[in-house]
Amino acid sequence: MVKCVVSGCPNRSNVNPGIYNHSLPSKRFFNFPADTARVKVWLAALRETEKQDSAEQNQICEDHFLPEDISTDGVKGDAIPIMPPCLEGPLGVINPWGAAGHPRKSSPLTKPSSRYNLSLGLLTQRFLELLLAAPDGVVDLGHVTTSLQTRRRRVYDITAVLEGISVLKRQSVNHFKWIGSTSISSFLWQNQQKLQRELDSLKLVEDTLDSLIKSCAQQLFSMTDDLDNATYPFRSPSPRSVFFNFCTSAYVTHEDVGRLAAFEQQTVIVVKAPEETKLEVPAPKEDNIQVHLKGGRGPIMVLTCEVGGADASRHFLALEESRITTNTLHTGNTQNNRNTQNNRNTE
């Protein structure tokens, strides 16, 4: 006959020999997990760690699982066995039926006390949450018992499981410290529902970022490549007053440049050039600084802006109207090449 491996369980072969009542409802028995780590957890929860070597040959009855942990296919993969109230005590082996010396009487099932409604797995999750929030990962069992509203024996079951898998260490009588190589949160996230909520939240953040990136890309295209939005008039203050249309709406105004304190009392050169334009600045000479611009896909427009000073203009100046001198950059292909020279000796 199949018997339960848990010491003190009435479904165990060496409990109350000769008085086993065959009229009692038959119990379901389950094999231990194939994973040795899970076996350690189960045995630690049942306070049967010395039976690890024989776990493969033993079985455990349904009395040590909550109803929601049992299905028609067996025990759920994340289920952890518990010690029923009748077996809880200083040694965890008290058998009320054996002590009385009388057969167990069948009685209607009653709803267990609320402190037993929580499975050991759920209590362990709440214990880990307290451990995660505790300074330096150290918790006091008195505080844990009060916070979880459970018996100290239940907390000892949790610490025994965690000590059995070498992630918790007793520092004193009532203090335990997390010593696991992985973070506490990694154990908490094994809860599938919580993990799903985390994934849903991350998916929402990802979708929001994708939407913002798409919006920014569209706005950048509208400012730089959409010619329908690309007009900004520039008026030369010279007697040959003309209006130029700058083919971009991504522009800065003369006032914008004039407010740059870093360029105070200096001449700012503003360059509008097509894609793939190359800019080179050779080593400065004693009396001038040269800037070489080379563009092969369209014209290059260069303007100047005097920032501060008495001679500061209220408009951008064409390069020919400023004190910047220019000449053609001879590189074999003179089209769209320009050599801009800032002569420091020019007033």
Write the DSSP string, 220-239: HHHHHT-GGG---EEE--SS
Band the pLDDT of 334: cuts 50, 70, 90: very low
Share of the chain above pLDDT 70, in %: 64
Question: What mean pLDDT is reported for the chain?
Answer: 72
Residue of 294, 272, 290, 273 whose CA lies nearest to 281? 290
Band the pLDDT of 286: cuts 50, 70, 90: confident
- Contact (CB, 8 A) for 140 and 129: no
Give the model's pLDDT for residue 54: 62
Q: What is the pLDDT of residues 195-238, one digit of tens each?
A: 678 788 888 898 898 888 888 888 777 766 666 655 555 444 44
Adjacent-strand bridge partners of 341? 290, 325
* Degrees to nearest 5, angle at CA 232 with 229 and 234: 165
Comparison of pLDDT for 177 and 79, the residue scoring more: 177
Band the pLDDT of 250: cuts 50, 70, 90: low
Determine the residue type at 155: V
> Residue ranges of the alpha helices (H) in 134-253?
141-148, 152-164, 184-188, 192-224
Q: Specify which of 211-220, 301-310, 334-343 reaches the highest per-range mean pLDDT.
A: 211-220
Q: Which two tokens stand for residue 261?
A: 């304190």
In whole angstroms, what is the distance from residue 50 CA to residue 54 CA?
Answer: 9
Residue 260 per-residue DSSP state: -
Calculate mean pLDDT across residues 65-79: 81
Q: What is the pLDDT of residues 4-18, one digit of tens each?
A: 888 777 777 544 443
pTM attached to this predicted model: 0.29
- For residue 272, pLDDT beyond 60: yes
Give the model's pLDDT for residue 240: 45
Give the model's pLDDT for residue 118: 63
What 219-227 contacts at long range (C-beta under 8 Å, 24+ apart), as own/partner pairs, is 220/250, 222/249, 223/248, 223/249, 223/250, 224/248, 224/250
Calculate mean pLDDT across residues 24-36: 79
Residue of 88, 87, 93 whose CA lies nearest to 151? 88
- For residue 107, pLDDT beyond 60: no
- For residue 318, pLDDT beyond 60: yes
Domain boundaries, the chain: 29-97+115-182, 192-225, 229-343
Calculate mean pLDDT across residues 29-54: 77
- For residue 243, pLDDT beyond 70: no
Give residues with Cβ within 8 angstroms of 144, minimum separation 6: 127, 130, 155
Q: Is the dihedral of CA 74, 77, 83, 86 positive or negative?
A: negative
**Can you name the CATH fold of 29-97+115-182?**
Arc Repressor Mutant, subunit A (1.10.10)
Give the model's pLDDT for residue 312: 63
In whole angstroms, what is the distance from residue 62 CA to residue 31 CA?
Answer: 11
- The 3-state DSSP class for residue 31 equals strand
Give the model's pLDDT for residue 105: 45
Give the model's pLDDT for residue 21: 45
In whole angstroms, what is the distance from residue 26 CA to residue 169 CA?
Answer: 40
Q: Which two tokens stand for residue 217?
A: 């890309």
- For residue 167, pLDDT beyond 80: yes
Side by side, the strands of the sheet bearing 325-327 are 278-280, 288-294, 337-343, 325-327
